[in-house]
C-alpha cells in the first residue's frame, strides 16, 4: 500500500507552484548520456547566479535536473573548478544556502528547500524485481536539453535556454557572441504560428519580400537569407525554383533559431544576413499526446495530432509522431492549397552513454490558382495600377506544387572524460512540379483593359541533398583552467535536376480585358525546352575553442577550411575565421564582440550569362547582452558592420535568354544596430520585442532597398490568473519603414523609383485553458485591416498583404 506525506500548503499555494513550475521549471538533460554515473570528473562552472551555475553543472555532468527558479532567484554562486562527484559538486554549489539536492531512483535530480524535505510527497514503488523503493513526487515539469540546446516545449517561455547554432558549443544567449533570435514553441502555440512565414513575421529584424502566391524570401540586415539548417545541418536552397523551404509547416518543430550575421564557421557558405535553423521536436520518456483543430478565415481548416512516449518499460526506446493537415483558401479569388505533413522520430539508448536517433518527415503543398509574379505596378498611363486585394492574375489551371522528403539520423556517444562524439546524417529531397500562367507582364490600359500579357512556363525538378557532419566536443585543461573544444568535419552534395517546358507555338498570351480577368483560358500544350543538371559539392574541417581566460573573460577562436565546387565555381582551401569574445560585467550583463568573413557563391548572371564571382567580405559585431531571473529574460544590444565585394545588382539589361542581367559592384558597406528583449518581464508576462536599423551603401548610393531600413516588432502575452484562472491574453504590433525599388513605367525609357509607404500591423490573441486537458484559442491577424503591399522590383509587380483574418482553435491533451 502506498504511503504519502502531502505538502502542507493551501490550495492557492499549490496552484501558484504548479503554474510557476510549468512556466519556469528548468531541467538540463543530455539525451546523449542516459544515466550518468556518479564518478568524479573535471568541472568548470563560472561564478554568477546560482540558477545558471546549477544548469551549467547539470549540462557538464549529463544529468536531469529540475527546480523552481523562484528558489534560486537573487542567489549567487562562487562557481566550481576542479574534480567532483555529482553530489559533491551540488553540495559545493549550494553551500551557504537553504537549499539541498534530492534524487529519484529513475535518475532525476531536483532542488528543494532543506526545511521542506520532510513535507515532500513520497510514494512507494515496486521495481520489476519486486523490490520496494520510496520515490519522491516531483513538483515540477521536466524539460530537456541536448547538443542542440535546451528544448523549449512545455517551458511556457518566449526565450530559449542554451543554444548551439553559432559554434556547436552549447551556450546561453548571453554567452554567445552573436545576435540570435528564437521563436519558441510557446510563442508559436500562443499566436497560432503554423507556417514559417508566420514565424519570420515574429522575428525582429527579419522582413519578407513576396514574389507570388507560392514564393517568399526572407531578409535580415539587408540581405536575403538563403542558408537553411535542420537540427544544425545546412541544406540546399534556391529561391528561383521554390521547393518547400518557405512553406515549411511548424508542427514538426520545437523552435526556430535565426543567427544574425555571417555563419560560415558551420555552414561553409556564409550568408551575410542570417541563417535559419529549424530544431525538430524530440521524443519524451513519459507518454504525451495532443489533438488540435482549427477553423479560420477564407475557409481555413486544420488538424494536428502529436503523440510520443516510451516504447519499452525502462524508457530506453522512445518515439514521437506528428501528423497535420491543412486546407486553406485565400483572400485571392479562385485560390486554394492543401498541405498534408507527417513527422516521425525514434530515440534509442544503445548504452547509458550512446544514443541513436532516426527520423523522417514528409510534406506536400498542393495549390490551385497559383500566381507567378504579382500585379503590374503601373498601368499604361503611368498610374499606380490599384487592383482589389482579391484579384488573382493566374489562369484557373495554374499551379506550383512543392514537396519535401527528409530522412535523418544521429549517433552520439559520451566518454568517461566528458568528451562527446556525434555523427549526423541527412538526406533531403526538395521538389516542384508547376504549370504556370499569370497576367504579370505589360501595362494594362485602364480604358479598355488591353496591354497586359501572360507569363507562361512549366518547370519540373528536384534537388536531392545528402549531408554528413561529425564532430567531437569536450573540455581540456590549460594553464590550470578548464576550456572547451569542438573539432569537426562535414561533407555535402546536392544535385539539382530541372526540365523547362515551353508553351505551344502561337498560344495567345495577350489579354484583352485585364480588369475582368477570371483565368478562363485553356492550358497550353507544353513541350520540353531544356533540361539542366547541376551538382554542388562542399566539404570542410572546422574547429572551435572556448578559452576561459578568467572567470569573466571568454575568448572563442574558430575557423573552417572549406572546399566548394559547382559548374561555375571551383574553390579549394577557403579559410573562414571566427573570433568571438565575451566579458561578464556582473551577474546580469556581458560585453561581446565577434568577427567572421563572408564567402557566398551566387546564381546571378551578367549580360553574357556568366555567373558572377562569389560574394566576399567581412562581418563585425559588438554589443552588450543581459540575462535576468536565471535566464528567464534575455536582452541584447548589438552594433554590426558588413563589408562586401562582388555584390549583385541589376544592370538594367537583359541576358540573351531574356532574364534580368546583373553586375557585381565592390565595396558595399552595411552598418546598423539591433535591440531585442525576450522572456518573462514579470511573473506570467512574456515578451518578444525588438527594434532594428541598418543602412547599406555603395559609393554613397543606397542598395538593398526592397527590405526596410527600420523595423519594430513587439509580441506579448499575459496570464491574469488573479482575476480569471486559465486565461491568457496577448497581442502584438509590427512596423516597417518605407521600401523602394526601380521598376518599369511605360512613360519612361528607363526604370523609375517606386516607393512603398511604411505601415503598422496589429494582431491579438486569447487562450482559455478549461482544465488540464482542454483549451481554446482565438487569434486575429491584422486586427485593424490595414491595406498594404510589398513590391518585387525584378518583376515590376506588387502583392497585397493579407487583410484581417481570424482563427478559432481547440487543443485536447491526453
Q: Which three cell numbers stand for residue 223?
A: 540581405
Distance of CA 751 to the CA centre of its chain: 36
Q: Please say if the pLDDT value at position 470 is more than 70.
A: yes
Helix, strand and coil content of the chain, in percent to the nearest 5, comes to: 10, 55, 35
Res 804: pLDDT: 98
The pLDDT-based confidence of 36 (bands split at 50, 70, 90) is: very low
Poorest-pLDDT segment among 11-20, 116-125, 718-727, 752-761: 11-20
The residue among 348 and 603 whose pLDDT is bigger is 348
The pLDDT-based confidence of 240 (bands split at 50, 70, 90) is: low
Rounded Cα–Cα distance for residues 6 and 20 (Å): 19
Q: Which three cell numbers stand for residue 190?
A: 500562443
Q: Please say if the pLDDT value at position 118 is more than 60.
A: no
Q: Please say if the pLDDT value at position 579 is more than 70.
A: yes
Rounded Cα–Cα distance for residues 403 and 400 (Å): 10
* Count of Cβ atoms closer than 10 Å to residue 502 Cβ: 16
Task: From 409, 292, 401, select the one nearest 344 (Cα to Cα).
Answer: 409
The pLDDT-based confidence of 803 (bands split at 50, 70, 90) is: very high
Res 379: pLDDT: 96
Q: Please say if the pLDDT value at position 147 is more than 70.
A: yes
Is 467 in contact with 518 (CB distance < 8 Å)?
A: no
pLDDT, tens digit (0-9, with 9 covering 90-100), for 484-522:
999 999 999 999 999 999 999 999 999 999 999 999 999
Question: What's the whole-number mean pLDDT along residues 534-551?
Answer: 93
Q: Please say if the pLDDT value at position 141 is more than 60.
A: no
Poorest-pLDDT segment among 49-58, 467-476, 499-508, 688-697: 49-58
274-813: in CATH 2.40.170.20: yes
Rounded Cα–Cα distance for residues 638 and 75 (Å): 28
Q: Please say if the pLDDT value at position 20 is more than 50.
A: no
Share of the chain above pLDDT 90, in %: 64
The residue among 38 and 69 whose pLDDT is bigger is 69
* Count of Cβ atoms closer than 10 Å to residue 754 Cβ: 19
The residue among 85 and 188 whose pLDDT is bigger is 188
Please, what's the b/e burial string for 701-714 (b: 16 or more CB within 10 A of its CB; e: otherwise)?
Answer: eebbbbbbbebbbb
Q: Where in the chain is the domain with CATH 3.55.50.30?
A: 11-142
Res 16: pLDDT: 34
Rounded Cα–Cα distance for residues 696 and 220 (Å): 12
Res 721: pLDDT: 87
Q: Please say if the pLDDT value at position 661 is more than 80.
A: yes
Q: Where in the chain is the domain with CATH 2.40.170.20?
A: 274-813
The residue among 149 and 663 whose pLDDT is bigger is 663
Q: Please say if the pLDDT value at position 24 is more than 90.
A: no
Res 70: pLDDT: 64
Res 492: pLDDT: 93
Q: Please say if the pLDDT value at position 549 is more than 80.
A: yes
Res 653: pLDDT: 78
> Which residue bears the cell 567531437?
472
Res 328: pLDDT: 97
Predicted model pTM: 0.82
Question: What's the whole-number mean pLDDT along residues 396-405?
Answer: 96
Res 122: pLDDT: 52
The pLDDT-based confidence of 119 (bands split at 50, 70, 90) is: low
- Residue-averaged pLDDT of the chain: 87
For residue 18, give the H/E element and its range: helix 11-24
195 half-sphere exposure, CB direction, 13 A CA radius: 18
The pLDDT-based confidence of 69 (bands split at 50, 70, 90) is: low
Q: Please say if the pLDDT value at position 476 is more than 80.
A: yes
Distance of CA 51 to the CA centre of its chain: 26
Residues in a beta bridge with 604: none
Question: What's the whole-number mean pLDDT along residues 370-396?
Answer: 96
Poorest-pLDDT segment among 132-141, 220-229, 432-441, 759-768: 132-141
Res 44: pLDDT: 76
First to last CA, the chain: 27
Task: From 252, 331, 303, select the one nearest 809 (Cα to Cα).
Answer: 303
Q: Please say if the pLDDT value at position 404 is more than 90.
A: yes
Question: What's the whole-number mean pLDDT along residues 175-195?
Answer: 95
Question: What's the whole-number mean pLDDT along residues 46-58?
Answer: 79
Q: Please say if the pLDDT value at position 644 is more than 70.
A: yes
What is the fold, at CATH topology level, of the domain defined by 11-142?
A: Phage tail protein beta-alpha-beta fold (3.55.50)
Q: Please say if the pLDDT value at position 266 is more than 70.
A: yes
CB-based contacts of 557, cutoff 8 Å, min separation 6: 544, 545, 547, 578, 579
Amino acid at each position: 500500500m502506498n504511503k504519502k506525506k502531502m505538502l502542507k500548503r493551501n490550495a492557492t499555494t499549490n496552484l501558484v507552484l504548479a503554474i510557476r513550475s510549468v512556466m519556469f521549471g528548468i531541467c538540463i538533460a543530455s539525451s546523449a548520456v542516459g544515466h550518468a554515473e556518479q564518478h568524479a570528473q573535471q568541472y568548470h562552472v563560472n561564478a554568477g547566479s546560482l540558477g545558471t551555475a546549477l544548469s551549467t553543472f547539470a549540462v557538464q555532468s549529463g544529468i536531469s535536473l529540475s527546480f523552481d527558479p523562484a528558489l534560486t532567484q537573487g542567489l549567487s554562486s562562487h562557481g566550481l573548478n576542479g574534480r567532483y562527484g555529482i553530489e559533491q559538486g551540488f553540495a559545493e554549489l549550494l553551500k551557504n544556502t537553504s537549499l539541498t539536492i534530492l534524487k529519484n531512483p529513475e535518475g532525476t535530480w531536483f532542488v528543494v528547500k532543506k526545511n521542506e524535505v520532510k513535507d515532500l510527497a513520497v510514494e512507494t514503488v515496486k521495481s520489476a524485481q519486486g523490490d520496494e523503493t520510496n520515490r519522491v513526487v516531483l513538483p515540477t515539469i521536466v524539460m530537456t536539453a541536448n547538443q542542440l540546446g535546451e528544448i523549449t516545449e512545455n517551458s511556457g517561455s518566449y526565450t530559449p535556454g542554451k543554444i548551439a547554432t553559432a559554434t556547436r558549443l552549447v551556450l546561453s544567449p548571453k554567452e554567445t557572441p552573436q545576435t540570435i533570435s528564437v521563436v519558441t514553441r510557446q510563442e508559436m502555440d500562443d499566436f497560432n504560428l503554423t507556417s514559417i512565414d508566420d514565424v519570420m513575421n515574429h522575428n525582429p529584424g527579419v522582413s519578407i519580400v513576396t514574389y507570388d502566391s507560392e514564393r517568399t524570401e526572407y531578409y535580415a540586415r539587408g540581405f536575403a537569407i538563403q542558408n537553411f539548417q535542420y537540427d544544425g545541418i545546412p541544406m540546399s536552397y534556391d529561391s528561383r525554383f521554390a521547393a518547400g523551404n518557405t512553406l515549411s509547416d511548424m508542427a514538426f518543430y520545437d523552435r526556430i533559431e535565426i543567427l544574425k550575421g555571417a555563419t560560415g564557421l558551420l555552414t561553409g557558405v556564409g550568408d551575410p544576413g542570417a541563417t535559419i535553423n529549424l530544431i525538430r521536436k524530440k521524443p519524451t520518456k513519459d507518454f504525451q499526446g495532443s489533438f488540435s483543430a482549427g477553423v479560420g478565415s477564407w475557409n481555413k481548416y486544420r488538424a494536428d495530432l502529436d503523440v510520443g512516449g516510451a516504447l519499452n518499460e525502462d524508457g530506453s526506446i522512445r518515439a514521437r509522431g506528428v501528423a497535420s493537415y491543412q486546407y486553406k483558401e485565400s483572400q485571392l479569388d479562385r485560390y486554394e492549397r492543401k498541405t498534408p505533413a507527417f513527422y516521425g522520430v525514434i530515440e534509442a539508448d544503445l548504452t547509458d552513454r550512446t544514443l541513436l536517433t532516426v527520423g523522417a518527415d514528409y510534406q506536400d503543398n498542393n495549390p490551385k490558382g497559383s500566381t507567378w509574379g504579382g500585379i503590374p505596378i503601373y498601368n499604361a498611363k503611368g498610374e499606380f495600377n490599384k487592383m482589389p486585394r482579391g484579384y488573382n492574375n493566374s489562369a484557373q489551371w495554374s499551379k506550383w506544387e512543392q514537396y519535401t522528403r527528409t530522412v535523418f539520423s544521429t549517433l552520439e556517444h559520451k566518454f568517461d572524460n566528458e568528451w562527446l562524439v556525434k555523427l549526423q546524417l541527412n538526406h533531403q529531397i526538395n521538389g516542384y512540379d508547376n504549370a504556370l500562367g499569370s497576367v504579370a507582364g505589360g501595362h494594362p490600359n485602364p480604358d479598355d483593359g488591353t496591354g497586359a500579357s501572360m507569363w507562361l512556363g512549366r518547370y519540373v525538378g528536384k534537388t536531392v541533398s545528402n549531408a554528413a557532419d561529425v564532430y567531437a566536443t569536450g573540455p581540456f585543461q590549460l594553464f590550470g583552467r578548464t576550456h572547451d573544444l569542438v573539432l569537426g568535419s562535414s561533407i555535402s552534395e546536392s544535385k539539382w535536376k530541372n526540365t523547362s517546358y515551353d508553351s505551344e507555338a502561337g498560344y495567345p498570351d495577350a489579354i484583352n480585358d485585364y480588369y475582368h480577368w477570371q483565368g478562363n483560358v485553356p492550358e497550353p500544350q507544353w513541350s520540353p525546352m531544356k533540361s539542366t543538371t547541376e551538382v554542388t559539392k562542399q566539404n570542410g574541417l572546422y574547429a572551435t575553442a572556448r578559452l576561459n581566460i578568467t572567470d569573466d573573460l571568454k575568448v572563442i577562436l574558430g575557423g573552417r577550411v572549406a572546399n566548394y565546387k559547382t559548374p561555375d565555381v571551383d574553390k579549394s582551401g577557403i579559410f573562414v575565421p571566427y573570433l568571438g569574445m565575451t566579458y561578464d560585467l556582473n551577474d546580469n550583463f556581458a560585453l561581446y564582440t565577434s568577427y567572421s568573413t563572408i564567402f557566398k557563391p551566387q546564381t546571378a548572371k551578367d549580360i553574357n550569362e556568366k555567373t558572377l564571382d562569389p560574394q566576399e567580405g567581412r562581418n563585425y559585431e559588438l554589443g552588450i547582452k543581459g540575462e535576468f531571473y536565471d535566464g528567464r529574460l534575455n536582452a541584447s544590444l548589438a552594433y554590426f558592420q558588413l563589408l562586401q565585394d562582388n555584390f549583385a545588382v541589376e544592370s538594367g539589361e537583359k541576358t540573351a535568354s531574356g532574364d534580368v542581367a546583373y553586375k557585381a559592384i565592390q565595396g558595399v558597406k552595411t552598418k546598423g544596430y539591433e535591440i531585442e528583449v525576450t522572456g518573462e518581464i514579470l511573473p506570467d508576462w512574456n515578451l518578444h520585442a525588438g527594434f532594428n536599423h541598418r543602412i547599406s551603401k555603395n559609393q554613397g548610393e543606397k542598395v538593398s532597398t526592397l527590405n526596410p531600413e527600420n523595423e519594430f516588432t513587439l509580441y506579448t502575452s499575459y496570464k491574469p490568473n488573479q482575476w480569471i484562472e486559465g486565461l491568457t491574453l496577448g497581442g502584438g504590433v509590427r512596423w516597417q519603414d518605407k521600401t523602394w525599388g526601380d521598376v518599369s513605367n511605360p512613360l519612361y525609357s528607363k526604370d523609375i523609383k517606386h516607393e512603398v509607404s511604411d505601415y503598422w500591423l496589429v494582431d491579438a490573441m486569447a487562450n482559455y485553458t478549461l482544465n488540464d486537458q482542454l483549451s481554446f484559442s482565438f487569434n486575429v491577424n491584422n486586427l485593424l485591416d490595414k491595406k498594404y503591399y510589398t513590391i518585387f522590383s525584378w518583376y515590376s509587380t506588387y502583392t497585397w498583404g493579407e487583410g484581417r483574418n481570424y482563427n478559432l482553435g481547440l487543443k485536447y491533451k491526453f
